[in-house]
A and B are shown apart, each in its own frame.
Chain A
Amino acid sequence: MANKNGADRVDVRKTYKQYVGGEFVRSESGRAYRPDGMVNVPRGSRKDLRDAVRAARTAFAGWSGRTAMNRGQILYRAAEMLDARRAEFEELLGGGRKARAELDETVEVLVWYAGWTDKLAQVTGTVNPVSGPYFNFTIPEPTGIVGIVASDDPALAGLVRRLAPALCGGNVVVALAPEHRPLPALTLAEVLATSDFPSGVVNVLSGQRKELLPWLASHMDVNAIDVSGCTPDEVALVEAAAADNVKRVVKLPAGERSPHLVTAFMEMKTIWHPIGV
């Protein structure tokens, strides 16, 4: 009997996994849920989040220490890998013109931010005039672990619009896949895994937002959180919980594509350098 791909064998059914520390894992809790009533998806717990943050922290020094050019190469490769799997993603996004447009945009976003890695400091950094014998300049530095709460619609582009700038600046990411449409995000993890990102630089968790978001927002080791996929109530919750370690809460418009979105995940550092020494 032919299977759905027309081959004369039994279907190889796929088990979707979370992506934590470079590995594809089920939830430590053993739980799963069915966002679309068909496919089982891991229902991540706070301990999965804890593990993801730990993996991200370990990866941060290596990733932020890469040269800007190398980070650009890796982001570009992510675009290549994603483009090579168009057919699969088109199906996951529901097919049709809308799915193709979203996919095109996603690939484009990756390429666009890949180009920005080694131009960012020149464009967003400044040399400041000061009244003293000093060179004074301000440059952006990665802030650390960025939490991303992706929106359900668009399920793929929504995540990548935030993921790419966060990675572009040298940050590491713990992303919550859209609760109701997690499959594109979980499949994107497979793309990132083959794009030469070191283990732990990107972590993707799936599950119920109300279970994971409070832990992500209050985690003292998470340095910034993007709330593009949050409801106003969730944003209020995040802002209250983020106050304890003064997390950056990034609230730029969902469609934003600019170097300022990259620096929103970064810290501007000013250096005073004596002249003539």
Chain B
Amino acid sequence: MATALSLTHLGSLMRGVRSVDEVGANERAASLAKRSIKKSSKLWALDLSIRCMDLTTLEGSDTPGKVAALSAKAIRPKPGDSSIPSVAAICVYPARVADASERLQGSGVKVASVATAFPSGQSFTSIKVAEARDAVDAGADEVDMVIDRGAFLSGDYQKVYDEIVAIKEACGSAHLKVILETGELGTYDGVRRASILAMAAGADFIKTSTGKVQPAATLPVSLVMMEAIRDFMRETGRPVGFKAAGGIRTSKQAIAYLVVLYETLGAEWMTPDRFRLGASTLLNDVLMQIDKERSGVYQSPDYFTID
């Protein structure tokens, strides 16, 4: 298994992570974001962004009813139009996993649960592991964990690594997405280091942010993470997925992410198994853009469901 990096090598692994050219990354992301995707290519990209979407609700006020409504929307984003595909997954708090899993049974839409003291990650390891295990037991197909940024920033990579390994084990067959919360890591060097660390520890996906911290996902940060995935793939042969989450609200942004994805990781990554977009309000904008392309008329949010 590719995760079996000996722990004694952790220090040298981290020291070996090369530094990131910050200006270069910003520049490249900005130039890729300018690419113009039109007509049928745009429709294809919009369709793909729906298929790769983790429809998310992470509020203290989430109720079983809200989750039920969101599940219905996940299966059939636009009622009465079967040409619009289902989303990849819905993403909820652990306490709502059972509600979602009941509604989504047999639909092909996965249930993802955040876990491990989301969003801060500041709790005891035993509790985090138990939370991940309980979420999987409740029916989660995917677990979105947060890394312990406190430990990471103070240089205690061992603790971060051990926690990811322990939670990966607790997840069993469920997919593990590791949230780096890049907005709190400070530098692109930190982002790259955290990416390599998470992948070495066994992450199936690495994910930018919780969506609870500003700045959340940005294009250059995503580029840095995708480059880390590409380099990790070259070293170990293991493909790791990428999830962008937080602050992605418009179709235009979503398409920019797809462009960067294609240019960095290639066409093999343009599938829900290896790429996800975590968002709550993006779906409606994508639906509006699809309708605009089809009808040639600018659309209004008045005609789309709220949840």
Contacts and interface: CB of A to CB of B under 8 A. Distances in A.
Interface of A: 49-50, 53, 57, 215, 218-221, 244-245
A218 B299 CA distance: 9
B299 A244 contact: no
Contact of B303 (A57, A215, A219, A220): A220
A221 B297 contact: no
B298 A218 contact: yes
A49 B297 CA distance: 12
A215 B298 contact: yes
B298 A245 contact: no
B170 to A, nearest CB: 44
14 contacts: A49-B298, A50-B298, A53-B298, A218-B296, A218-B297, A219-B297, A219-B298, A219-B300, A220-B299, A221-B298, A221-B299, A221-B302, A245-B300, A245-B303
4 closest Cβ contacts across the A-B interface? A221-B300, A220-B300, A218-B297, A219-B298
Contacts of B300: 219-221, 245
B195 to A, nearest CB: 35
Contacts of B296: 218
Nearest to B301: A221
A215 B292 CA distance: 11
A50 B289 CA distance: 12
Interface in B254-307: 296-303
Interface of B: 296-303
A212 to B, nearest CB: 12
Contacts of A244: 297
A233 B29 CA distance: 47
Given A49-B298, A218-B298, A221-B300, 4 more contacts: A218-B296, A220-B298, A220-B303, A245-B300
A112 B83 CA distance: 53
Contacts of B303: 220, 245
A49 B292 CA distance: 14
Highest count of chain A CB atoms <10 Å: which of B297, B298, B301? B298
Q: Give the one of A49, A218, A220 with max B CB within 10 A.
A: A220
Contacts of B297: 218-220, 244
A57 B300 CA distance: 10
A220 B299 CA distance: 5
A137 B196 CA distance: 66
A49 B298 CA distance: 10
Nearest to A49: B298
A53 B302 CA distance: 14
B39 to A, nearest CB: 15
Contacts of A50: 298
Contacts of A57: 301
Nearest to A219: B298
A245 B299 CA distance: 10
Contacts of B299: 220-221
Nearest to B298: A219
A57 B299 CA distance: 12
B96 to A, nearest CB: 30
Contacts of B298: 49-50, 53, 215, 218-221
A53 B300 CA distance: 10
Nearest to A244: B297
B69 to A, nearest CB: 23
Contacts of B301: 57, 221
A244 to B, nearest CB: 7
A143 to B, nearest CB: 12
A50 B301 CA distance: 13
Nearest to B296: A218
Nearest to A47: B298
A215 B301 CA distance: 17
A242 to B, nearest CB: 11
B289 to A, nearest CB: 11
B16 to A, nearest CB: 46
A122 to B, nearest CB: 30
